Structure 1
Amino acid sequence: MDFTQIYKHSLVSFSFGGQFILTALQDRLVVRRTDSLQIIATWLLEAPTTSKSPLHISHIGWSCDSEYLFAACTSLGFIDVFKLKEESWKARIEAGAEGLVKAEWAPDGRTLICTSEWGVSLVFISILLSQLRITLWSLVTGTATHIQYPVHSDSAYAFRADGRYFALAERHRSKDTLGVYDALHGYSMVRHFPLPTSNLGSLSLSPTGNYLAVSEGPLEFRLHIVTLAGSVVSSFSPDVDPGFGVRCVAWHPTGSLLAVAGRDNKVHILDNLSWTSVATLTLSSKLASDTATVLNCVFLQIVWREPADWLVATEGRGFLSYEKTSGARTIPIPRVDMSKGTPKSGAVQLEWSKSGAFLLVRFESTPTVAHIYDFPVPDQPLTPRLRSVLIHTQPITNARWNPESDRIALCCGGQSIYIWSNEWVNEDGTAEDMAECVGIPAEKFDCRELKWSPVGKGLLLMSKDMFCCAFDVEEEEV
Structure 2
Amino acid sequence: MNFSELFRQSLQLCKFSSDGKYLACAVDYRLVVRHFDTLQVQHVFSCLDAVQYIEWSGDSQFILCGMYKRGMVQVWSLESPDWHCKIDEGSAGLCAVTWSPDGRHILTTADFHLRITVWSLVTKSVSYIRYPKQCIKGIDFSSGGKYMALAERRDCKDHVSIFSCQAWALVRHFESETEDLAGLEWSPDARVLCVWDSCLAYKVLLYSLDGRCLARYSAYDLALGVKSLAWSPSSQFLALGSFDKKVRLLNHVTWKTVATLSHPEVIESSNAVIYKEEETRVPAAPPSVIGKAATASLYGSQSKYDVLACPVKVPTSSPTSNKANPRLGVGLLIFSHDNKYMVSRNDNMPCAVWIWDVRKISLCALLIQANPVKCVCWDPSRSRLALCTSNNKLYMWSPEGSLAVEVPVEGTFLIHNLAWHPDGDAILLIGKEQMCICFLTPTSDANVANNTSTINNTTANAADTQDDVDRQTITFESEMITHSGKDMVQGNLNGVSSNGDQGEKKS
TM-score, normalised to structure 1's length? 0.86
- The yes-or-no answer on 1:61 pairing with 2:55 is yes
Distance in 2 (CA, whole Å) between partners of 1:459 and 1:7 is 14
Is 274-283 or 311-320 further displaced after alignment? 311-320
- In structure 2, the CA distance between the partners of 1:312 and 1:445, relative to structure 1 (3 Å rule), is farther
1:415-445 deviations in Å (ceiling 9; x for gaps): 11100012xxxxxxxxxx2100010112210
Secondary structure of 2:211's counterpart equals coil
Please tell me whether the aligned partners of residues 385 and 398 of structure 2 are also in contact (alpha carbons under 8 angstroms): yes
Letter in 2 for 1:360: V
Secondary structure of 2:91's counterpart equals helix
Secondary structure of 2:279's counterpart equals coil
Please tell me whether the aligned partners of residues 263 and 343 of structure 1 are also in contact (alpha carbons under 8 angstroms): no
1:109-153 deviations in Å (ceiling 9; x for gaps): 111121111xxxxxxxxxxxx443111111111112211111126
Secondary structure of 2:278's counterpart equals coil
1:23-73 deviations in Å (ceiling 9; x for gaps): 111111111011221001111113xxxxxxxx2101111111111111110
- In structure 2, the CA distance between the partners of 1:131 and 1:454, relative to structure 1 (3 Å rule), is same
Please tell me whether the aligned partners of residues 420 and 436 of structure 1 are also in contact (alpha carbons under 8 angstroms): yes
Please tell me whether the aligned partners of residues 316 and 441 of structure 1 are also in contact (alpha carbons under 8 angstroms): no
1:313-335 deviations in Å (ceiling 9; x for gaps): 99389996521112321113345
Distance in 2 (CA, whole Å) between partners of 1:95 and 1:316 is 52
1:88 counterpart residue number? 82
- The yes-or-no answer on 1:158 pairing with 2:140 is yes
Please tell me whether the aligned partners of residues 248 and 349 of structure 1 are also in contact (alpha carbons under 8 angstroms): yes
Please tell me whether the aligned partners of residues 56 and 73 of structure 1 are also in contact (alpha carbons under 8 angstroms): yes
2:179 counterpart residue number? 198
2:378 counterpart residue number? 401
Letter in 2 for 1:309: T
Q: Give the alignment partner of residue 240 of structure 2, picking from 260, 278, 283.
A: 260
Q: Give the alignment partner of residue 231 of structure 2, picking from 246, 251, 261.
A: 251
- In structure 2, the CA distance between the partners of 1:107 and 1:153, relative to structure 1 (3 Å rule), is farther
Letter in 2 for 1:94: D
Letter in 1 for 2:364: R
Please tell me whether the aligned partners of residues 289 and 325 of structure 1 are also in contact (alpha carbons under 8 angstroms): no
Distance in 2 (CA, whole Å) between partners of 1:82 and 1:332 is 47
RMSD of aligned alpha carbons = 2.2
Distance in 2 (CA, whole Å) between partners of 1:306 and 1:252 is 29
Aligned residues: 431
2:5 counterpart residue number? 5
Distance in 1 (CA, whole Å) between partners of 2:65 and 2:139 is 22
Is 103-112 or 151-160 further displaced after alignment? 151-160
Distance in 2 (CA, whole Å) between partners of 1:273 and 1:345 is 31
- In structure 2, the CA distance between the partners of 1:206 and 1:469, relative to structure 1 (3 Å rule), is same
Q: How much does 1:218 deviate?
A: 2.2
Q: How much does 1:281 deviate?
A: 0.5
- The yes-or-no answer on 1:346 pairing with 2:341 is no
Distance in 1 (CA, whole Å) between partners of 2:99 and 2:15 is 13
1:182 counterpart residue number? 164
- In structure 2, the CA distance between the partners of 1:152 and 1:20, relative to structure 1 (3 Å rule), is same
Letter in 2 for 1:414: N
2:406 counterpart residue number? 439
Secondary structure of 2:166's counterpart equals helix
- The yes-or-no answer on 1:229 pairing with 2:223 is no
1:173 counterpart residue number? 155
2:45 counterpart residue number? 43
Q: Which has the higher helix share?
A: 2
Secondary structure of 1:201's counterpart equals strand
- The yes-or-no answer on 1:29 pairing with 2:10 is no
Is 107-116 or 404-413 further displaced after alignment? 107-116
2:251 counterpart residue number? 271
Distance in 2 (CA, whole Å) between partners of 1:258 and 1:284 is 22
Please tell me whether the aligned partners of residues 318 and 438 of structure 1 are also in contact (alpha carbons under 8 angstroms): no
Alignment of 1:325-344 (within 5 A): 325-334=308-317, 342-344=325-327
Letter in 1 for 2:70: L
Q: How much does 1:106 deviate?
A: 1.4
Please tell me whether the aligned partners of residues 317 and 439 of structure 1 are also in contact (alpha carbons under 8 angstroms): no
Please tell me whether the aligned partners of residues 64 and 107 of structure 1 are also in contact (alpha carbons under 8 angstroms): yes
Q: Which has the higher strand share?
A: 1
- In structure 2, the CA distance between the partners of 1:72 and 1:338, relative to structure 1 (3 Å rule), is closer
Please tell me whether the aligned partners of residues 100 and 165 of structure 2 are also in contact (alpha carbons under 8 angstroms): no
- In structure 2, the CA distance between the partners of 1:81 and 1:342, relative to structure 1 (3 Å rule), is closer
Percent identity (aligned): 30
Distance in 1 (CA, whole Å) between partners of 2:318 and 2:301 is 38
Distance in 2 (CA, whole Å) between partners of 1:18 and 1:318 is 34
Distance in 1 (CA, whole Å) between partners of 2:237 and 2:94 is 36
1:450 counterpart residue number? 418
- In structure 2, the CA distance between the partners of 1:12 and 1:153, relative to structure 1 (3 Å rule), is farther
Segments of structure 2 that go 5 or more residues without pairing to the other structure are: 285-296, 449-507
Please tell me whether the aligned partners of residues 266 and 311 of structure 2 are also in contact (alpha carbons under 8 angstroms): yes
Q: Give the alignment partner of residue 309 of structure 1, picking from 254, 260, 280.
A: 280
Please tell me whether the aligned partners of residues 336 and 378 of structure 2 are also in contact (alpha carbons under 8 angstroms): yes
